[in-house]
């Protein structure tokens, strides 16, 4: 999430009541989670296991639960609860409506048709010649391009599935990102595309999604991808252009699929994949799988 205008380190520290390490006027441009950080971003870390990853990431401000040696050119915000304070910063700069107020700051392009039963949040942009079917829900800050089709009961911009365990209960990391649907995308019935935690979940131009597909927060789907029914993609995945995912493919969080790949039905992905055709619970190369099957069947 980028702030509307640059902030100073001391301003953010005062907002959350934290100590800080670095110049008072150190520039802060926004927040982001570890997979998506850029220079000027705040990233939070609350476990020593991940200190090095956060401190050595592209983020230049680290919201951390212990004062440590600060890398050159960076700054620290030292908090007793970085998770809580990350939420506090995000919701200070991005108001959360969750359909409780109908401000309807919506831009709709020429020739677009929206069924009367669709529900649209605030600060939404919809392009030209787009079709929105019955019972579609479009969350705050969603951006939809031209010539898009979104079929019935699909939800764009739901909350990210991102929690921590606190005092025996689940505590949500509040989602202040959005969903971007590029031009000429088709989305089937009953799909759910979560908004980014602090960035954008993106469906690339010309991609086609079947029914009942779940796409997690901050995932980026490339251009002209084809995704069949009941595919589940976790958060922060990168799917290259012209990738085909057949039915019931499951992809764990933070993985990358190279452009042009094909994942056959029920393939499971728990690592990055180079271009190829894959099958099986652990995404095995399809030709290797076939050779193995032939050998197994010829055993006597």
pTM of the model: 0.94
Tokens 């440590």 -> residue: 68
pLDDT at 300: 61
pLDDT at 184 (0 to 100): 98
Distance CA 205, CA 208 (A): 9
CA–CA separation, 233 vs 236, rounded Å?
9
- Beta-carbon contacts of 45 under 8 Å, excluding residues fewer than 6 positions away, are 34, 51, 53, 54, 55, 62, 63, 64, 65, 82
CA distance 260 to 242: 5
Digit-by-digit pLDDT tens for the chain (300 residues) are 999 999 999 999 999 999 999 999 999 999 998 988 999 999 999 999 999 999 999 999 999 999 999 999 999 999 999 999 999 999 999 989 888 887 778 999 999 999 999 999 999 999 999 999 999 999 999 999 999 999 999 999 999 999 999 999 999 999 999 999 999 999 999 999 999 999 999 999 999 999 999 999 999 999 999 999 999 999 999 999 999 999 999 999 999 999 999 999 999 999 999 999 999 999 999 999 898 888 888 886
| Intervals of CATH 2.160.10.10 along the chain | 106-278
Cβ-based neighbours of 230, under 8 Å, separated by 6 or more: 212, 213, 247, 248
Region for residue 73 given its phi and psi (left: phi exceeds 0; alpha: psi -120 to 50; beta: otherwise): left
Number of Cβ within a 10 Å radius of residue 96: 12
Q: Residues spanned by CATH 3.40.1390.10 within the chain?
A: 2-93
Q: What fold, for 106-278?
A: UDP N-Acetylglucosamine Acyltransferase; domain 1 (2.160.10)
User: 2-93 maps to which CATH number?
Assistant: 3.40.1390.10
Q: Which residues are catalytic?
A: 217
Long-range pairs for 162-171: beta carbons < 8 A, 24 or more residues apart: 162/197, 162/217, 162/235, 164/83, 171/83
As given in the structure block, the two tokens for residue 147 are: 């010539």
How many whole angstroms separate alpha carbon 212 and alpha carbon 149?
15
CB–CB of 160/197 below 8 Å?
yes
Residue with tokens 């452009």: 259
Written as six digits, the tokens of 111 are 């020739």
Name the DSSP letter for residue 273.
Answer: B
Q: What is the model's pLDDT at position 99?
A: 87
């Amino acid at each position: 999430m980028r702030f509307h205008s640059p902030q100073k380190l001391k301003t953010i520290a005062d907002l959350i009541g934290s100590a800080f390490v670095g110049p008072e006027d150190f520039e802060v441009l926004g927040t982001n989670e570890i997979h998506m950080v850029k220079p000027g971003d705040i990233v939070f870390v609350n476990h020593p296991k991940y200190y090095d990853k956060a401190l050595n990431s592209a983020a230049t401000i680290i919201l951390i639960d212990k004062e440590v040696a600060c890398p050159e050119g960076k700054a620290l915000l030292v908090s007793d609860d970085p998770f809580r304070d990350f939420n506090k910063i995000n919701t200070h700069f991005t108001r959360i409506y969750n359909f409780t107020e109908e401000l309807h700051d919506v831009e709709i392009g020429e020739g677009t048709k929206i069924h009367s039963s669709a529900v649209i949040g605030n600060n939404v942009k919809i392009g030209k010649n787009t079709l929105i079917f019955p019972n579609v829900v479009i969350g705050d800050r969603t951006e939809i391009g031209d010539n898009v089709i979104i079929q019935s009961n699909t939800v764009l911009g739901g909350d990210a599935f991102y929690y921590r365990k606190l005092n025996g209960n689940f505590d949500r990391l509040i989602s202040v990102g959005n969903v971007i649907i590029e031009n000429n995308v088709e989305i089937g019935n009953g799909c759910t595309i979560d908004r980014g935690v602090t960035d954008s979940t993106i469906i690339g131009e010309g991609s086609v999604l079947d029914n009942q597909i779940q796409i997690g927060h901050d995932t980026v789907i490339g251009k002209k991808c084809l995704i069949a029914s009941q595919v589940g993609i976790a958060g922060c995945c990168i799917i290259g252009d012209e990738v085909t995912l057949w039915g019931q493919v499951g992809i764990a969080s933070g993985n990358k699929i190279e452009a042009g790949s094909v994942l056959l039905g029920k393939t499971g992905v728990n690592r990055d994949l180079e271009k190829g055709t894959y099958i099986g619970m652990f995404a095995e190369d399809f030709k290797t799988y076939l050779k193995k099957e032939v050998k197994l069947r010829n055993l006597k």
